[in-house]
Chains A and B, each alone.
Chain A
Amino acid sequence: MTERNAFKTAELMKEMMARYYAAGKESISKGIPVAWVTAVFPVEIIYAAGLFPYYPENFGAVAAARKVADRLSAVAEARGYAHDLCGYARCGIGDAYATEHPIGEILKPDVLFCCNTQCGSLLKWFEVAGRFYKAPFFLLDAPQVGFETDGLCKRYFVEQLHELIEFIEKLTGNRFDYDRLSAVLALSNEACRLWNEILETAALKPAPFGFFDACFHMAPIVTWRGTAEAVDYYRALKEEVEERIEKGIHAIPGERYKIYFDHIPCWPKLRWFSELFASHGALVAVSQYTHSWAYSFDLEHPLESLAESYTHEFVNRCFDYRVQRKINFMQKYGIDGFVLFSNRSCKPNAFGLYDKRRLISERTGLPGVVFEADMSDLRFFSEAQVLAKLDPFFEQLSSD
Chain B
Amino acid sequence: MHTADLIEPFASAVKDPAGPVRQWKAARGGKAVGFLLTDVPEEMIHAAGFFPFGITGGSIGLEKTDAHLQTWACSYARSCLALALGGELDFLDGLIIPQSCDTTRMLPGIWSHVSPLPYLDHFRLPRQVDRPSARRYLIAELERLQKGLEQFSGRPIEQDHLKRSIVLYNRNRALFRALFDLHAQDPSLISNRDLYTLIRGAMVMPRERVNGLLAALVGELKGRLKAEGEAEHLRLVLSGTLLEPVETLDFIDEWGGAVVGDDLQNGCRYIEADVPEAGGTLEALADRQLNRIPSAAYDIQKRPRRGFLADLAREKRAQGVIFLHLKFCEPENFDYYDNLQAMEKAGVPAMRIETQFGGASLGQLRTRVHAFLEMIGGEGR
Contact = CB atoms under 8 A, between A and B. Distances in A.
A360 interface: no
Interface in A160-206: 160, 163
Interface residues of A, number: 47
Interface in A133-165: 137, 139, 141, 143-144, 146, 150, 152-153, 155-156, 159-160, 163
Contacts of A143: 99, 124-127, 137, 141
A319 B331 contact: no
Contacts of B337: 79-81, 128
Interface stretch (A118-126, A221-229, A291-299): A118-126
B129 to A, nearest CB: 9
B112 A351 contact: no
B127 A127 contact: no
Nearest to A322: B109
Contacts of B327: 84
B124 A120 contact: no
8 closest residue pairs by CB, A with B: A319-B109, A124-B334, A351-B106, A156-B137, A143-B124, A159-B133, A347-B102, A82-B333
Contacts of B331: 120, 124
Contacts of B141: 143, 152
Given A144-B122, A347-B330, A355-B113, 16 more contacts: A80-B337, A84-B330, A85-B333, A124-B331, A124-B335, A143-B126, A143-B137, A155-B140, A159-B136, A163-B131, A319-B108, A347-B73, A347-B102, A350-B70, A352-B110, A355-B114
Nearest to A116: B127
Nearest to A321: B109
A12 interface: no
Contacts of A79: 337
B366 interface: no
Interface string A82-98: 10111001000000000
A247 interface: no
A359 interface: yes
A144 B102 contact: no
A319 B333 contact: no
14 contacts: A79-B337, A119-B102, A120-B127, A120-B330, A127-B334, A128-B334, A144-B99, A146-B122, A159-B132, A159-B133, A319-B109, A351-B103, A352-B106, A354-B69
Contact of A359 (B113, B127, B297): B113
B124 A80 contact: no
A168 B296 CA distance: 26
A105 to B, nearest CB: 20
B115 to A, nearest CB: 11
Contact of A139 (B69, B127, B334): B127
Interface string B114-128: 100000001011111
B109 A318 contact: yes
B128 A141 contact: yes
Contacts of B99: 143-144
Contact of B72 (A84, A116, A352): A84
B372 interface: no
A322 B68 CA distance: 16
Contact of A152 (B103, B106, B127, B137): B137
Contact of A348 (B102, B114, B144, B340): B102
Interface string B306-327: 0000000000000000000001
A324 to B, nearest CB: 12
A191 to B, nearest CB: 29
Nearest to A380: B72
Interface in B59-94: 67-70, 72-73
Nearest to B143: A152
A347 B109 contact: no
B105 A144 contact: yes
Given A80-B336, A143-B125, A347 B106 contact: yes
Contacts of B128: 139, 141
Contact of A141 (B109, B134, B299, B330): B134
A372 B124 CA distance: 29
Interface string B131-156: 11110110011001000000000000
Given A119-B102, A128-B334, A348-B102, A319 B112 contact: yes
A355 B114 CA distance: 8
Contacts of A84: 72, 327-328, 330, 333
Contacts of A322: 109
Interface in B320-367: 327-328, 330-331, 333-338, 340, 352
A275 B128 CA distance: 44
A119 B334 CA distance: 14
B6 interface: no
Interface string A343-380: 01001101110110001000000000000100000000
A318 B108 contact: yes
A287 interface: no
Q: Which of B128, B132, B328 has the most CB of A within 10 A?
A: B128
Contacts of B67: 354
